[in-house]
Structure 1
Amino acid sequence: MISLADLQRRIAQGALSPEAAIGQSLEAVGADRATIGAFVRYDEKARAQGAGPLRGIAVGIKDIIDTADVPTEMGAAIYRGHQPRADAPVVMALKQAGATIIGKTTTTAFAANDPTATLNPHNHAHTPGGSSSGSAAAVAAAMIPLALGTQTGGSVIRPASFCGVAAIKPSYRLLPTVGVKCFSWTLDTVGLFASGVRDVALGLSAMTNRPELVVPPEVATPRIGVVTQAFAGAPEASGAAALQTASRAAERAGASVRELAMPDIVAEAWRIHPIVQDFEAHQSFAWEYRQNYDAMPPLLRGRLDESKGITARDYDAAMNVALSARQALSAVFDEVDVLLTLSAPGAAPKGLSYTGDPRYNRLWTLMGVPCVNVPALIAEGGLPVGVTVIAPFGADARALAAASFVEGALRN
């Protein structure tokens, strides 16, 4: 993979020009595009532009995020050729930091259930995950050093786990979702993919102009609470092994590690996440569902068909549970600095018809807390499996620093 930190260092030292760095990514995209299928389209003439910490950094943008210079088709026939007039704020933030947008990465249709044809770079017989399929795969295949995705259930953390890359789903609304096709306004969160935790931190820091997000050379030894999420069902053997491997590595490196049970209201929040998501989806997709029903992606259409019975009273009750759960979760962090949990049930499923189960991600999306995927082990078939480091709402710097600690512990 391409390290963003390494590219920045080489460019600063004059060992690599920004133009050459962009050219290397374009060459890699052109060579691998037909194999992996991570990009919907890319700009063969893209060049380094402007100034800033991300000058010379090629970035892929998930194709539900508006771009003014290339279409935003959302993986759906309804929007074939759709050309926004403006860049989404997150795209402008990248450009203002000096990054070069080289193309749009694949997404499941409307960032929902209907999969792409994108392949897992580690094993082409397996899914890269969804919905941010192309962004995770492009970073994993060493095409680009940085990519944007989005998460409503598990669409950043899960594909990062399946593809063996670092990723962050930041605190809710740290990155604006204006100009991003809405699925659920309570849940939708823009996230980043990169080769390592420090690379993710550099990208997020540059986008937000928050230097405190950069992981320092030395990080404090964290107090870690391990959460197995028993309320979400048992993981596969590879998922359980990843969590155990990361826990033991962190403990050997000096961290305080102990298992924590979540309050009952937090487990209840896990249960009601789909109520919030699907109730809001009916409003977000009202035009597509009512005016273009036959053209809707079939799996999403079926999901909306099945969830028509959710009432406003159901939704209001679910939102009250979410509020209480957020308060209860905040108190959990009085005991530990971060949580460590599963990023996915296990390794990427075989085949491309199913992008994997987000059941270990959806609670944390609803809670709005920062989540960082750290690759933990390689399972059978050469498939990566990750773990998730979670910090309190707004403590993204803490999440990144602790994830870097776990990442280093796993390497030693």
Structure 2
Amino acid sequence: MNNSEILALDARDIAAAVASGALTTRAVTEAFLERIADRDGPVMAWQHLDAARARAAADAMDASGAKGALAGVPIGVKDVIDTADMPTGYGTSIYEGFQPPWDAPAVQITRNAGGLILGKTVSTELAMASPNKTRNPHNPAHTPGGSSSGSCAAVAAGMVPLAYGTQTSGSVIRPASFCGVTAFKPTFGAINTVGIKVLCHGLDTLGILSRNIGDAAHCAAVLTGKSELATLTAPARPRIGVLLGTRLEKAEAYAIDIVNRLASVAEASGADVTVLAAPSWFDGIFDLHEAVMGWEVTQSLVSETSRHWDRLTHVTRAMMEDQGRVDEARYRAAMGEIPGIRLMMDAILSRFDAVLTLAAPGEAPEGTPTGDPIFNRLWSVLQVPLICLPAGKGPKGLPVGVQLVGARGADHRLASAALFVETVLAAKGGTL
């Protein structure tokens, strides 16, 4: 099998071929290293990539007989996730060259399943809003989004079939939409986040970037221990809600149109589609997210802001000053209100296999600002599972994704519905 054929394989196909002996991990690694050498120049998706180390790791895996659900699959890991064999800089000069003596549990679980950590992908500073060097693979003049910039760009450019990101507001779903890749952010708490730089202990979630929902769910099965995610069957007649929500003045008309057209196409393909009005309490969720993130991020990053303020970028300093305006009383009030809101939203979401909504305001903005997480924030504070699927293009020809939302704990149901939607989109040539 030549490199082009290897690069075209899904992650599941790579794992099956390596486990059976039809492919070696070294051959797979060489194919993707060649792709990186060819594509990463203008994209700059990688914070740390040691080709010699990757080759040595691949050879060791082949010598030991690589097995497991991720056997031989090259994976990019966001540079806020600790790795014992390569630096973790958390996207800031403060930690440049820092070498953790441990793997984050998610990394070790990946290795135990046969996955090969190819390198560390670029993060914005401390996984917040200050952009780093990565550019959008579809047009380097545009942002890839953030904070999981490098992970989304690396998958979009075909440099890895899987990558890990993190989301506190919209840092997995939004850049996935901008880069035209699939993203799966499971229910909060489903994946262990120890060894991942903490922003908000009540919001931070690891997410998976991939080229299709089958690969993302397969990887999620490994990381969560929920084996049913490895086997998806698209329902013949999924129940899909459509909830555009509030603050639509922030969205481009074409992004709203893509959601509505996809709903119509899904209905024509057999889905039971219901358009939902936002409940009266819906818009207040934005303020709840602001209160939780504002207080928790200020506490989590107190060392960096107290000891290294001058080394932070002006964007991060301004954001921290803004977050610092949230006092403990507001935070405690929000924390008291959130459990009831989550239960009310679960009651709505559980009526559907998936609820379809906006993933981002539109296509990736020009320049370096990472975009607005306005259509992700409220779902993050609700701790629900989320999936982004590429669905269309904006007026500049850049990708525009849609977001699918499920009830807490209904990850398999959501992923199965996403497979239906992905199949519908494929029948339309991949985009609307």
Output the TM-score relative to the length of structure 1: 0.96
More off after superposition, 291-300 vs 110-119: 291-300
Report Cα offsets for 1:180-205 as digits up to 9, x if no partner. Answer: 11111111100000000111011111
Match among 25, 31, 42 for residue 18 of structure 1 = 25
Aligned-pair distance for 1:68?
0.7
SS of structure 2 residue aligned to 1:75:
coil
1:17 is matched by which residue type in structure 2?
A: T
More off after superposition, 326-335 vs 132-141: 326-335
Whole-Å Cα distance in 1 between the matches of residues 364 and 94 of structure 2?
29
Assess, with a 3 A threshold, how the Cα gap between structure 1 residues 315 and 43 changes in structure 2: closer, same or farther. Answer: same
Aligned-pair distance for 1:241?
2.3
Assess, with a 3 A threshold, how the Cα gap between structure 1 residues 232 and 65 changes in structure 2: closer, same or farther. Answer: farther
Report Cα offsets for 1:131-179 as digits up to 9, x if no partner. Answer: 0000000000000000000000000000110111111111001111111
SS of structure 1 residue aligned to 2:281:
helix
Report Cα offsets for 1:45-64 as digits up to 9, x if no partner. Answer: 31432421111100000000
Q: CA RMSD in A?
A: 1.6
Aligned-pair distance for 1:10?
4.1
1:325 is matched by which residue type in structure 2?
A: I
User: Residue in 2 aligned with 1:385?
Assistant: 400
1:199 equivalent to 2:215? Answer yes
2:360 is matched by which residue type in structure 1?
A: A
More off after superposition, 35-44 vs 211-220: 211-220
Whole-Å Cα distance in 2 between the matches of residues 82 and 119 of structure 1?
24
2:287 is matched by which residue type in structure 1?
A: R
Counterparts of residues 98-177 of structure 1 (less than 5 Å) = 98-177=114-193
Large movers: runs of 4+ above 4 Å: 12-15
More off after superposition, 400-409 vs 199-208: 199-208
User: Residue in 2 aligned with 1:8?
Assistant: 15
1:39 equivalent to 2:46? Answer yes
1:22 is matched by which residue type in structure 2?
A: T
SS of structure 1 residue aligned to 2:364:
coil
SS of structure 2 residue aligned to 1:128:
coil
User: Residue in 2 aligned with 1:361?
Assistant: 376
SS of structure 1 residue aligned to 2:396:
helix
Stretches of structure 1 that go unaligned for 5 or more consecutive residues are none
Report Cα offsets for 1:307-327 as digits up to 9, x if no partner. Answer: 323211100111122212101
1:320 equivalent to 2:336? Answer yes
Q: Is the 8 A contact 1:269 1:318 kept in 2?
A: no
Q: Is the 8 A contact 1:232 1:360 kept in 2?
A: no
User: Residue in 2 aligned with 1:76?
Assistant: 92
More off after superposition, 219-228 vs 363-372: 219-228
1:25 is matched by which residue type in structure 2?
A: F
Whole-Å Cα distance in 1 between the matches of residues 9 and 378 of structure 2?
31
Aligned-pair distance for 1:9?
4.5
1:85 equivalent to 2:101? Answer yes
User: Residue in 1 aligned with 2:3?
Assistant: none
User: Residue in 2 aligned with 1:308?
Assistant: 324
Assess, with a 3 A threshold, how the Cα gap between structure 1 residues 304 and 91 changes in structure 2: closer, same or farther. Answer: same
SS of structure 2 residue aligned to 1:225:
strand
Whole-Å Cα distance in 1 between the matches of residues 208 and 197 of structure 2?
17
Whole-Å Cα distance in 1 between the matches of residues 79 and 250 of structure 2?
33
State the percentage of identical aligned residues. 41
Aligned-pair distance for 1:2?
5.4
1:33 is matched by which residue type in structure 2?
A: D
Whole-Å Cα distance in 2 between the matches of residues 172 and 198 of structure 1?
20
User: Residue in 2 aligned with 1:350?
Assistant: 366
Stretches of structure 2 that go unaligned for 5 or more consecutive residues are 1-7, 428-432
Q: Is the 8 A contact 1:238 1:385 kept in 2?
A: no
Q: Is the 8 A contact 1:145 1:194 kept in 2?
A: yes
2:40 is matched by which residue type in structure 1?
A: R
2:227 is matched by which residue type in structure 1?
A: P
Question: Larger RCO: Structure 1 or Structure 2 (Cα < 8 Å, ≥ 6 residues apart)?
Answer: 1
More off after superposition, 180-189 vs 316-325: 316-325
Report Cα offsets for 1:349-395 as digits up to 9, x if no partner. Answer: 0111x101100001111000000001101223331111111111011
Aligned-pair distance for 1:219?
3.0
Whole-Å Cα distance in 2 between the matches of residues 251 and 56 of structure 1?
39
User: Residue in 2 aligned with 1:95?
Assistant: 111
2:41 is matched by which residue type in structure 1?
A: A
SS of structure 2 residue aligned to 1:389:
strand
Whole-Å Cα distance in 1 between the matches of residues 222 and 9 of structure 2?
18
1:184 equivalent to 2:191? Answer no
1:348 is matched by which residue type in structure 2?
A: A
Whole-Å Cα distance in 1 between the matches of residues 9 and 127 of structure 2?
26
Aligned-pair distance for 1:260?
0.8
SS of structure 1 residue aligned to 2:51:
coil
1:28 equivalent to 2:28? Answer no
Whole-Å Cα distance in 2 between the matches of residues 335 and 170 of structure 1?
19
Whole-Å Cα distance in 2 between the matches of residues 13 and 83 of structure 1?
35
Q: Is the 8 A contact 1:215 1:400 kept in 2?
A: no
Q: Is the 8 A contact 2:240 2:354 kept in 1?
A: yes
2:426 is matched by which residue type in structure 1?
A: R
SS of structure 1 residue aligned to 2:356:
strand
SS of structure 1 residue aligned to 2:111:
helix
2:407 is matched by which residue type in structure 1?
A: P
More off after superposition, 21-30 vs 129-138: 21-30
